[in-house]
Structure 1
C-alpha cells in the first residue's frame, strides 16, 4: 500500500479542513498557517513564492488594483460595468440612498411586554424593537466586553468563517488572527464575522437568550436528548464587524426568526416584508447571474431603514428579507429560533433554499428532522385539546396543515433522493394519518358550530321592523281613539254611536301608550312616560294647555323655536334620537262638526311599504292612517 504524499514544510499529508496554497515556482503545496498566508490574503497574490523559492526569485507578486466598484478589483475600469454589492463605492451609495422609515413597521415594546402569550394573541408578523430590557430575560456581558474577551472565552485556535465584504466571499481563519485584524488601526480590508456560534464554549455562560425565544423555540422544546441527529446550535451567535461591513439581502436559514442585541456600536437594518410578491422577486433575484449588481431594495415597493443603536434589541419575524450595514465598529449578540406561529412561512423559506441550491453550511441543521419531532409533539397537543374540549388556535391548525403537506412531499422525495432525516422512533405514515384525523375532527367541529349558528339565526324570533311596530301602534290607536262617528273594523272606518265614542274618550284619560326610538328602532311601551331612558326619543301626544301649540296634522312638527323640524326625521318618518317632540296645534279657529268636514282622501305616499304604488283599499299604510287620525281629531284630546 503506497504511502500518502506529503506536503508543505511540515511534511504532512493533505488535510481537507486546512487552507493550502501552491507555489508558482516549485509547484509544491503549503498550509497557509505554516507559511503565514491567510486565505483572504491569497486572492490578492498574483504570483506566489514559497519560503524556499522566495530566496531565489524574490517575494511574491501582488495583484494591481484597477477599480473600487467591482469584486474583482483587477478588472479595468472603463466605466461600463455596474457597481457590485459590498464594494467601497457601493457602501458610499448605500449611505446616500433614501428609504422608508423603519418606524412605519417597527413595534416598540418594553421587555416585560414581549411574551409568548402576547405573540400568540397578536401574531409575530412585524419587527419588534426593545430598549427597556427589564423582564425580557436577556442576559449579556457588560458593554465593556471586548473582542479580546471573546478570544479569551472562546479560544484563539477556533477556526471561523469570515466575510470579505468587498468581494462578498467567505474564507476561513483562526479567531486569534481575526482579533489581531480587528484591533489594528489600519485595515486593508473590511472583514465581517457573523457566524460565531458559541453555545459549546465558556462564553455561553455569559449569555442567556430572551425568554420569548427560549420558550417558543422548537429546538429547546421538541428536540429529544436521545436523538440520533446532533442537536442544532443556532441559539447564540457573537457578531463582530468593523465599520462599513455589509451583508446583502437574505432570509435567515429555514425561515427562522431572529433576535439581535447591539452590545456596543451600531447596525442599520434594511427590512422588506415577506409578501408573496416580494418573496417571488427575492427568489428570482437570488438565482439571477447578476445578483450582486442589482440592489434588491429597489425592486420592491418599499424597503424600510431601521437603525439599531447600542443597548437595543431587535426581533425579526419569519421570512423578513433584510440586509445589514455596520455603520461603526460593533459587537452584537443574536440567535435564531423556529416556532409554531409561522410554520407555513418557515416551510416555504426552506423549500426556497432547496430550489436555490443553498449550501448546507448556510441552512438550518437537520431542518427536516426537527419538523418530524415537532409533528409528533403537535399531535399529542391536538389530542389533549380535543379531550379537554378546547379548540386549537387558528395559527396552529393552519401550521399543522402546512406541516402535513411538507412531510408527505419529503417522503415521496426519499424515493429518488435518499437523504432521510426521519427519526428512527417515528412511524411517518402513521403519524401523518393521525395528524390528518385530528385536523379533520377540528374542521368537522367548526362546521357543526357554523351550522348551529345558522340554525339559531333561522329560528330566532323575527325582530319587527320600524314600520311593523308603527302599524301595530296605529291599529291600537284606531281602536281606542275618539274618532267621532267612525271606528275601524277589519281595516275600514265605520260609523259608531256617540255613546261608544264618549266611552272611548273616557278610557283615554289614563292612556300613556307611546312609541320609543331605541337603538334606531321604534319600540312600543306601556310604562309611564317618566320612566323612559333619557337617550330614547319619545313620540308622545298628551293633552296640551292652550298656551302650548295645538295639534296640527297637516303641518310639519315645530321645534321649540318655532322652526320646522321635518329634517330631524329619517326617511322612514322616525324621530331623531337627539330630539324629543311634543305635538300641538297652533290653529285657533273653531272646530267643524264631523258631518261638515271634508272626507279625507290623501294622495298616495311613496315609502318603504308601498314602494311608490297607491295602496289598495283597506290597506292604507300606517303613516297614512296616522295622518287621517290626526286630521279627524284636530281639536280632540289625543293620547298616542
Structure 2
C-alpha cells in the first residue's frame, strides 16, 4: 500500500479540517497556520509565495481593490452594478434610511411580567423588550466581561465560524485569533461572530437563560435523557461583533423564538411581521440569484427599526423576519427555543428551509425527532384534559393538527429520505391516537368547549368553561394529573419491558411440561382415592429442575402436584409428621373430621398454616422414593397398550375418565384453591 503524500513545512498528510493554501511557484500546499496565513486573508492574495519561494521571488502579491460596494471588490467599478448587502457602501446607506418605529409593534414589559402563564393567555406574536431585568430569571456576567474573558472560559483553541461581513462569507479560525483581531485597533476587515454555542464549556455556568425560555422550551421539557439522537444545544450563544457588522434578513432556524441580551454595546434590529404574504415574498427573495443586491425591507409594506441598547433584553417570536446591524462594538448573549404556542408557524418555517435546501449546519438539529417527542407528550396532555373535562386551549389544538399533518408527510417521505423517528415511538399508532383526540374535540357538543383565547383552559377563575375555579380544586386536579401521568408512564415502561411470567403462567407451563413427559417417559400407575393417575417421579424431578429459575416450584409425584417441602427426608420434617410416616402414613383427623393428607390431596398445595414447611428456593430438594407410596390395587395393573394422555387424543371430544387434559387439570387446581390467600 502506497504511503499518503505529505504536504507543508510540517510534512503531514492532508487533513480536511485544516485550511491549506497552494504556492503559485512550487505548487506545494501549506497549512495556513504553519505559514501564518488566515483563511479570511487568503481571498485577498492574488499570487501566493510560500516561505521557501518568498526568498527567491519576493513576497506574495495582493489583489487590487476596485470598489467598496461589491462582495468581489476586484470587479471594475463602472457604476452599473448595484450595491450588495454587507459592503461598506451598503452599511453607510442603511444607517441613513428611515424606517417605521419599533415602538408600534414592541411590547414594553418588566422582567417579572414575562412569564409562561402570561404568554399562554395572551399569545407570543409580537416582540417583547425588557429593560427591568428583575424577575426575568436571566443570569449573566458583569458588564465588564470582555472577549478575553470569553477566551479564558471557552479556550483559545476552539475553532469557530466567523463571517466576513463585506463578502457575506463564512470562514473558520481559532477563538484566540479572533480575540487578537478584536482587540487590535487596526482592523482591515469587519468580522462578526454569531454562532459560538458554549453550553459545553465552563462559561455555561455564568449564564442562565430566562425562565420563560427554559419552561417553554421543547428541548428542555420533552427531550428524553435516553434518546438515541444527541441533545440539541441551541440555548446559549455568545455574539461578539465589531462596529458595522451586519447580518442580512433571515428567519431563525426551525422557526425558533429567540432571546437576546446586550451585555455592552448596541445592536439595531430590522423586523418584519411573518404574514403569509411576507413569508411568500421572503421565500422568493431567498431563492433569487440577486438576493444580495435587493434589500428585502423594500419589498414589504413595513419594516420596523428597533434599537437594543446595553442592558436590554429582546424576545423575538416565531417566524419574524429580521436583519441585525451592530452600530458599535458589542457583546451579546442569546438563545433559541421551540415551544407550543406557535407550532404551525415553526413547521412552516422548517418546510421552507427544506424547499430552499438550507445546509444542515444552519438548521435546527434533529428538528423532526423533537417533533415526535413533543407529539407523544401532547397526546398525554390531551388525554388528561379530556379525563378532567377541561377544554384544551385553541393554540394547542391547532398546533396538534399542524403536527399531525407534518408527521404524516415525514412518514411518507421515509422511503426516499431518512426519517428521524425515535426507536421507542410507534409512529402510526401515535398519529392515530392524536387524530382520535382531535376528532373527539371536533364532535358536536365537544368542540364548543374549546377555549378561544390564547390562554390555558385550566386557569384559576375559568369555572365557566367546566374547569375548577378554586385554588384547592386546581391543586387536587394537578395532583391527580401527575398520578395519572406517572401511572401511564409506568404502563408504558411495562409494555416495553420483557414480560415476566406470572404464577399462573408458570403453573400452566409446569403442567404441560409434566404431561408431555408422561406421554413419552416410563409410566407408573398409582391408585389414589380411587382415581387413575399416571406419574413419573423422574419426569417430575426433571420438570422441577427445568423450572428452578421460577418463583413457583411444584412437582407431580404419585399423581399429585405438591410442594417440594413434602419430599424432605424424615429427619427434616416436623416431629408429628415423622410419626405419621412411621405409622404407615396414617392420616390424623383434623378438627372438621377430614384427614390432613386428604386436605393436602384436595388442594394440591400446602395451606397457609403449613408454610413453615416450605423451604427457600436455594434449598437442594430431595424427592420422595416411589417405594414409600401405597401399594397398587390389583385392578390397576399396567395396560398392554395404554392410550396417550394429551389434548390431541381427545380430538375435540370429551376425554375419557382418567384422561383429563392439561387445561382441565389446571382448572381443577385453580377451583380448589379459589379461596386460598397464599399461592405458592
TM-score (norm 1): 0.69
The question of whether the paired residues in 1 share the 8 Å contact of 2:646 and 2:661 is answered with: no
Return the offset for 1:414.
1.0
Displacement after TM superposition at 1:29 (Å):
1.2
Displacement, 1:592?
137
Q: Secondary structure of 2:300's partner?
A: coil
Q: Is the contact between residue 550 and residue 584 of structure 1 (CA under 8 Å) also seen in structure 2?
A: no
Contact 1:481 1:505 in 2 (8 A): no
1:259-312: per-residue Cα shift (whole Å, max 9, x none)? 000000000000000000000000000000000000000000000000000000
Aligned ranges 1:1-16 → 2 under 5 Å: 1-16=1-16
**Residues of 1 paired with 2:98 and 2:83: CA distance?**
18
SS where residue 571 of structure 1 aligns? helix
Match of 1:485 in 2: 522
SS at match of 2:379: helix
Q: SS of the residue aligned with 1:328? A: strand
CA displacement 1:188-226 (0-9 Å, x = unmatched):
000000000000000000000000000000000001111
How far does residue 554 in structure 1 lie from its aligned partner after superposition?
126
Q: Is the 8 A contact 2:107 2:126 kept in 1?
A: yes
Contact 1:138 1:210 in 2 (8 A): yes
Question: Do the aligned partners of residues 44 and 631 (structure 1) sit closer, same or farther apart at CA in structure 2, a change above 3 Å counting?
Answer: closer
Give the direction of change, closer, same or farther, for the CA distance of 1:615–1:356 in structure 2 (3 Å limit): same
Q: Which moved further from structure 2: 573-582 or 1-10?
A: 573-582
SS of alignment partner, residue 415 of structure 2: coil
Q: After TM superposition, give the deviation of residue 181 of structure 1 in Å.
A: 0.4
Distance in 2 (alpha carbons) for counterparts of 1:286 and 1:408? 27
- CA distance in 2 between counterparts of 1:613 and 1:426 reads 46
CA root-mean-square deviation:
25.6
Note if contact 1:256-1:346 (Cα within 8 Å) is conserved in structure 2.
yes
Deviations for 1:481-526, whole angstroms, at most 9, x for unmatched residues? 999999999999999999999999999999999999999999xxxx
Secondary structure of the structure 1 residue equivalent to 2:647: coil
Classify 1:399/1:541 alpha carbon distance in 2 versus 1 (closer, same or farther; 3 Å).
farther
Summarize the Cα distance change of 1:494–1:213 in structure 2 as closer, same or farther, 3 Å threshold.
Answer: closer
Supply the distance in 1 between the matched residues of 2:547 and 2:20 (Cα, whole angstroms).
Answer: 113
Structure 2 contact 587–597 (Cα < 8 Å) conserved: yes
Structure 1 CA distance for aligned equivalents of residues 626 and 4 of structure 2: 123
Higher mean displacement: 97-106 or 10-19: 10-19
C-alpha displacement of 1:475: 94
State the Cα distance separating 1:22 from its structure 2 match.
Answer: 1.1
Deviation of residue 338 (structure 1)? 0.2
Question: For this pair of structures, how many residues does the alignment match?
Answer: 628
Whole-Å separation in 2 of the counterparts to 1:505 and 1:414? 50
Deviating more after overlay: 356-365 vs 455-464: 455-464
Deviation at 1:638, TM superposition (A): 95
* Contact preservation (8 Å) 1:543, 1:638: no
Shift of 1:455: 42
- Flag the 1:61–1:616 CA change in 2: closer, same or farther, 3 A: same
- Contact conserved, 2:7 with 2:14, CA < 8 A, in 1? yes
CA shift in 2, pair 1:264/1:458, >3 Å: closer
Q: Secondary structure at the match of 1:346?
A: helix
Contact 1:558/1:564 (<8 A) preserved: yes
SS at match of 2:569: strand
Q: CA deviation at 1:574?
A: 94
Q: Report which stretch shifted further, 445-454 or 189-198.
A: 445-454
Going from structure 1 to structure 2, the CA distance change for 1:142 and 1:598 (only over 3 Å counts) comes to: same
Cα distance change, pair 589–194 in 1 and its aligned pair in 2 (3 A): closer
Structure-2 change in CA distance of 1:570 and 1:385 (3 Å): farther
Query: Taking structure 1 as reference, are residues 389 and 541 closer, same or farther at Cα in structure 2, changes over 3 Å only?
Result: farther
Q: Deviations over 1:343-362 (max 9, x none)?
A: 00000000000000101110
| CA distance in structure 1 between the aligned counterparts of 2:11 and 2:552, rounded to whole angstroms | 113
Residue pair 1:552, 1:586 contacting (<8 A) in 2 also: no
Consecutive aligned runs of 4 or more in structure 1 exceeding 3 Å deviation? 443-522, 532-640
- Contact 2:139–2:206 (CA under 8 A) maintained in structure 1: yes
Q: Is the 8 A contact 1:198 1:236 kept in 2?
A: yes
Q: 1:312 to 1:535 in 2, by over 3 A?
A: farther
| 1:577-618, Cα deviation, whole Å (9 max, x unpaired) | 999999999999999999999999999999999999999999
Contact 2:567–2:623 (CA<8 Å) still a contact in 1? no
1:448-492 CA distance string (max 9 Å, x none): 999999999999999999999999999999999999999999999
SS at match of 1:581: coil
Displacement of 1:16: 1.3
Greater mean deviation of Cα atoms: 12-21 or 235-244: 12-21
Structure 1 gaps of 5+ residues are 523-531
Deviation at 1:327, TM superposition (A): 0.2
Cα distance between partner residues in 2 of 1:261 and 1:308: 8
Unaligned runs of 5+ residues in structure 2 are 441-478, 608-616
**Deviates most, 476-485 or 319-328:** 476-485
Worse-superposed segment, 369-378 or 552-561? 552-561
- Cα pair 1:483 1:633 within 8 Å, conserved: no
Cα distance in 2 for partners of 1:638, 1:424 equals 41
Greater displacement, 255-264 / 599-608: 599-608
* Gap change, CA 1:582 and 1:185, over 3 Å in 2: same
Q: 1:627 to 1:65 in 2, by over 3 A?
A: same
Q: Which residue does the alignment assign to 1:36?
A: 36
1:405 offset after TM fit, Å?
A: 0.4
Where 2:46 maps in the other structure, the secondary structure is strand
- 1 CA distance for matches of 2:358 and 2:131? 35
Q: Structure 1 residue 569 and structure 2 residue 600: aligned?
A: yes
Q: Which structure has the highest helix share of the two?
A: 2
Cα separation, 2, equivalents of 1:91 and 1:521 = 96
2:121, 2:287 → 1: CA distance?
A: 37
The residue matched to 2:306 in structure 1 has which SS?
A: strand
Per-residue deviation, 1:53: 1.2
Relative to 1, partners in 2 of residues 1:35 and 1:391: Cα closer, same or farther, differing over 3 Å?
A: same
Do the aligned partners of residues 587 and 235 (structure 1) sit closer, same or farther apart at CA in structure 2, a change above 3 Å counting?
closer
Q: Which moved more, 1:8-17 or 1:557-566?
A: 557-566
Distance in structure 1 (CA, Å) of the matches to 2:333 and 2:173: 20
- 3-state SS in 1 of match to 2:305: strand
Conserved 8 A contact 1:215-1:221: yes
* Matches of 2:150 and 2:431, distance apart in 1: 45
Question: Are 1:541 and 1:582, in contact at CA under 8 Å, matched by a contact in 2?
Answer: no
1:544 aligns to what? 575
Give distance in 2, aligned partners of 1:121 and 1:355: 33
